[in-house]
Amino acid sequence: MPDKIQLSDADWRERLTPEQYHVLREGGTERAFTGKYEKNKLPGEYRCAACGQLLFESADKYDSGSGWPSFTAPAEGDAVEEHRDTSHGMVRTEVVCAKCEGHLGHVFPDGPGADGLRYCVNSAALDFKPEE
């Protein structure tokens, strides 16, 4: 389990762009098909835009057609945490960064991987590090 990072609201606002803050700290979402990593196919790592925690790897990314970057599994078992989300009149499973608890997106049971999961993640919550 990664060590938790906790910052004041002012510190998060200073560290993040307005869009990143809205997604990561307020649980917002970007519009479908607008995120910078939705079509990215380069090899590398996807890290939390707020704290740098490794979240997902490009080998687990696929085109789900949903309009957001989709992954079959987190990079490591404890990289993300899942919480029940009953907002907007739906019951979903929210995915947050295990280190800073930033909102990433949601996980759904309709993915192609061995576990049948689709981690649907906002590009604004991610920072991509290409493979060297």
Cite the active site residues. 120
Residue 72 · residue 80 · CB < 8 Å: no
Confirm if 107 and 93 have CB atoms less than 8 A apart: yes
**Do the strands 92-97 and 80-85 form a parallel or antiparallel pair, or are they unpaired?**
antiparallel
Residue entry with tokens 């990433």: 104
- The number of beta carbons lying within 10 Å of the beta carbon of residue 18 is 9
Which H helix or E strand runs over 103?
A: strand 103-108
Alpha-helical runs (H) found in 33-121: none
